[in-house]
Amino acid sequence: MQVIFIYDIDLTDEKRGQKRLNKVRKIGRKYLTHIQKSVFEGELTEGKLAKMEAEILKVIEKDKDSVIFYTIPDGVKINRKLITDLPDPAKNVL
């Protein structure tokens, strides 16, 4: 399945927030392609998605941080359009 992963880590307590942010980014890079600041996308099995979610839940503060997963089932065609002149960071992914 295709997965889009988006997060926003609360940086009110800058030191602790930055530490969580770095850990979440590292987990995202482990499983998906880093597209923009807090956006990742790629192909995952349900098992790998569950594993990724579990790793993230160990790091974040559920009452302060926002984490969103969009999942697109296999066989569903999605259209992705880059409308700027910047290189597409996922040109070999989707």
Q: Where are the domains of the chain?
A: 2-72
Given this model, what pLDDT does residue 41 score?
A: 95
Beta bridge partners of 66: 8
Choose which CATH entry (3.30.470.20, 3.30.70.240, 3.40.50.11720, 3.40.190.10) describes domain 2-72: 3.30.70.240
Given this model, what pLDDT does residue 39 score?
A: 97
- What gap in Å lies between CA 78 and CA 66, rounded to an integer? 24
Buried b (16+ CB within 10 A) or exposed e, 55-87: bbeebbeeeebebeeeeeeeeeeeeeeeeeeee
Given this model, what pLDDT does residue 94 score?
A: 43
Across the chain, which has 94 residues, the per-10-residue mean pLDDT values are 96 95 97 95 96 98 96 88 80 55
